[in-house]
Amino acid sequence: MNREIAGTAIIFLKGYKVIPTRQFGNTGHESSSVIFGAAALWNETQYDSDKLLEILINYGVNHIDVAPRYGEAEVRVGVWMKEHRKRFFLATKTDNRTYQGAKEDFFRSLDRLQTDYVDLIQLHSLTNPDDWQTCFGPKGALEALIEFKNQGLAKFIGVTGHGWIAPAMHRWSLEKFNFDSILMPWSWHASNFRNYKEEFNKTAKICEKRKIAIQTIKGIARGPWAAGVKPNRSTWYQPFEDENVIKNCIHWILNRKNIFLNSVGDINLVPLVLKAAQNFETCPSEATMQNIDQSIGTASIFGI
């Protein structure tokens, strides 16, 4: 059975198989290896969001990552929380760098999410050194997050980052505070981009030693939208769309047992990511990934 969502066909797949779970760092929670990145709900109706919820539940997805800057996503997820709060490990973020700003963000998020606590509150996209100084300084955002945790409003604290500098900035952050989770880009292309693999592995090694959860993003990013091309997806980058290519990309990522994949910011591609994750068997060969790169083409979405 097909249903039109956001102008393109989304398939309600038969024969669901629950996605395997992994220990989410030191939290004690067994999270689905694919976390639902709720940026996909940015500009979606509640009706279409609820249809996607059915798919998430059928695949056993039990972890949602959302943020105030994701349009109406917190509102859409909030409707789900009225009935399904205990089903999901719920994470949100703040991109405000001051104590007061983060506090205002957080309580607005609780209201929009229709909950009195979150499982994980994260400093959002913390890769700018000046922002970093503000966050960790007096009356910085981190003080607010620690306060939320002490008050039982958030169970755990994390930090996220976008761009090639994310792993290095996370090492700065981990020197200052014992975060429960981090988030940074990871894909086959990323692993072959200059010295990014080395930087990623340095940070991952610290996390593995300290049992800090590692979330990854941009797993099916192909490259930036070409000039003059009208985007047909809600992602800010051009994603892979072929089901077999997506499968290989997801399997390559999930072959690394100690990381998680945050899905994709397009409601129509989420089911293909989940389908790939449920059928994970072996890691595709290097030749397979090179063939994708050579036949379809990949490029940096973060510039040079």
Structural domains in the chain, CATH included, are 2-295 (3.20.20.100)
Q: Is the pLDDT of residue 86 over 70?
A: yes
Q: Is 190 exposed, middle or buried (0-12, 13-18, 19+ CB in 10 A)?
A: buried
CA 195 – CA 286 distance, rounded (Å)? 18
Cα 292 to Cα 150, 186, 249, 273: the distances in Å are: 48, 16, 9, 17
**pLDDT tens digits, one per residue of 89-110:** 999 999 999 999 999 999 999 9
pLDDT of residue 14: 53
The residues near 200 (Cβ < 8 Å, ≥ 6 apart) are 167, 184, 186, 190, 191
Is residue 22 within 8 A of residue 30, CB to CB? The reply is yes
Q: What is the mean pLDDT of residues 276-300?
A: 94
- Out of 93-107, 134-148, 250-264, 275-289, least confident range: 275-289
pLDDT of residue 212: 98
**pLDDT tens digits, one per residue of 103-141:** 999 999 999 999 999 999 999 999 999 999 999 999 999
